[in-house]
Chain A
Amino acid sequence: MRGMTLIVKSITQLMAPSILLLGIYIVMHGHLTPGGGFAGGILIAGCFVLIVLAYGSEEAKSEVRKWRATFSESFGIFLFWFLALLGLIQGTYFFYNIIAKVNTGQPYHLFSAGIIPLCNIAIGIEVGAALFAIFITLVVFKVEENL
């Protein structure tokens, strides 16, 4: 897939950082405002998809590495399972909100609600990397026909 025109490339340079920032904001504030790990992670993936589509897959092949996307995806799901297992390590139940049981934090502030924002960050990493991995597998690194 070839890249698009100069207009699309310039607008992408302006828009992509804001989209990435909005995705990170939605992930971090998932326990305070509408949104959360799934929506923010997909926005982060959409930022990278926009860059790859605007600059073309030939240019993306020199910059994009598939193992980075799959590694971050595995890291995210591992972090989520580890957060769920923390309850068992502490001697309570699986998926027990151990931090909120001690102290729920100041309500309506960023550091509140125990492990919920940590779980949101783990889901955000996992979902964003997963959708970007599917995209680059289907579009950039597709299997040649003669193989």
Chain B
Amino acid sequence: MAEDTFLADDLLRQLMSVGEVDLLVGVSSHNAADKLGEAVQAIERCFQQFFVRQRVVIVNIDGGDKEPPQDDPAASPVANPAQTAETIVPRQGITSLRTINRVTANYSAPPSPGTALRTLLAAADLLRARACAVVAPATCSLTPDSIAKLLRPAYQDKFDFVAPLYSRHKFQGLLARNLVYPMCRAVFGAAIRELYTDEWGFSGRLAASCLNQNVWHEEAIQTRPEAWMALSAISSNFRCCQTFLGEKPPAARGPATDIVEVLRQTVGTLFWCLETRPSLWLDAEPSPSVTTFGPDHELTTERSDLDPHRIFAMFRTGVTELEPILSSILHPDTHVEIKNLVAIEEGKFRFKPDLWVRTLYDFAASYHHSVINRSHLVQALAPLYRGMTHSFLLEHSDSSPAEMEASSEMLCSEFELQKPYLRERWKTKVEVTS
């Protein structure tokens, strides 16, 4: 075990009573205790339907809750080893031949996804789990089938990282579509569409590898560890795949919908990965596409009540008001082009892909050179992202899913085409005089 002093005695005692397992599913019940019961039932049904013969365990990572529920099925300190599936959920035809163990890990550290994942990886490593999945009851509508889809590629097909894929509304997930996915694909050679997600699967080998890395104190890892895990898998030549899970549930109110907070968590982590692993991407070539189980993408086109006018107004104001900050981040030519965009009439506004790519690469290089405080730098991206979003909404108001996919591919190509520009900016700092 890599971290034999990290786990609490109580958790160690629980894990030792479980012994070795084939499958492990981790649930982080932090501030989601009301949905924990449903999640545990879905996981147990998954085990009973799809993994009847396997040794399994459910690990609840409990980081505390503002309002703990009265009858929390996984809140009991542990699982009685004699407690079988039949006593937890009613019989539904096929039942598990093995005990479904349940373990609850309470950690005193401030609750964070990074701490939860680290605990889970340590548990997986100790139990020698062959395949693991992380699910989040707070944001996802879990079904036995979706959990099985995350576990099966790692357990049966020997994949090491299993990313989910979702059916989405065509105007949802624009940060992933226009920034995270194309940039990661071009820079890291990682053609994984959903790098920032609340549910994913991984192998025991990858768990052990990630656990041994000395990064857990980093803020980027504490907030969004899943993208780092995917990039670690790619960089260490682990096998990655994607699996289609169905419709993406809408995010609950809170930090997940605040664009500045989302940018800090996602783009901040992405830039941090660029910064800490330059050898991984500086000379990397685009990798072949990742194996996908199910459809590669699916878009729906229901009506939406988005307000492009407000988004454009915020872009305009942002570029004007943040001029001194943007001038220290962007290359002078890029900055001039963006300032020119502000003068364009709203209806004719287009944020061209090449300018968007150069803008992002300038931000990444400036993050590397620390031209300003890094948190401020990522926040300064918000108005420009809004500009790109507005352009996207105008351009694709009547586009079909196929057209949008073609446009997305073009953007990915642009990112790959301009990668030398990022390399150049990364290695040489542009002195800005003001």
Does chain A bind chain B?
A: no
